[in-house]
Structure 1
């Protein structure tokens, strides 16, 4: 048994916030440490207009550091959707040798 639980970084479009929350819950109940996006849209799922482009860039860079901490990456991609930011995160994870799995393989 390892000294610590597995660490999984959840990646995916913020439009799938509900699905990411469900994956986070399921992984946590399975004993996994989860790192995931820290900012989600309001309950009505509209974009938070108070987030500046500078903040978006900082959040993107922070998420790459979360990938660095993880043992593996789980891409939440209902319907197979992978957007630009998620594609960049997948490429980063691949470049750093992180195993990647998808909730909906294409």
Structure 2
């Protein structure tokens, strides 16, 4: 690969992971495989279902959830493609919303498991 100074090299594909944090381990596994495949991975970083001082207060948790939802949409904006992490075919309401948003942007979407009908 040419490393000429001042010449912009294309970046590896960027994939954003979407899915329920109830499947946190599956999200981590998908992150591992996508990274090993040479992709830049954007993923959820907070599991609000697990106790943490940042969101132990319900009012703080509500504000943080809204901010994280907005931030995740920005990750979708940046991504070249979307990977839906859906063990057992499960897709919750938040993930459905993210899929609709990604579709509105024309982003390619992959799934880790067949989708339940």
TM-score by length of 2: 0.81
Q: Which of 80, 94, 103 matches 1:94? A: 103
Gaps of 5+ in 1: none
Query: Higher relative contact order by CA 8 Å / sep ≥ 6: 1 or 2?
Result: 1
Gaps of 5+ in 2: 2-8
Which residue in 2 is equivalent to 1:61? 70
Which residue in 2 is equivalent to 1:36? 43
Paired residues in the alignment total: 102
What is the CA deviation profile of residues 28-87 of structure 1, one whole-angstrom value per residue up to 9, with x for unaligned ones?
Answer: 11110000001125xxxx543525111101100100000000000000001111101101
Task: Give, in angstroms, the shift of residue 24 of structure 1.
Answer: 0.3
Which residue in 2 is equivalent to 1:5? 12
Q: Secondary structure of the residue that 2:71 maps to in structure 1?
A: helix
Structure 2 CA distance for aligned equivalents of residues 105 and 72 of structure 1: 18
TM-score by length of 1: 0.89
Structure index of larger Rg: 2
Q: Secondary structure of the residue that 1:25 maps to in structure 2?
A: helix
Structure 2 CA distance for aligned equivalents of residues 27 and 62 of structure 1: 21
Please identify runs of 4+ aligned residues in structure 1 that moved more than 4 A.
none
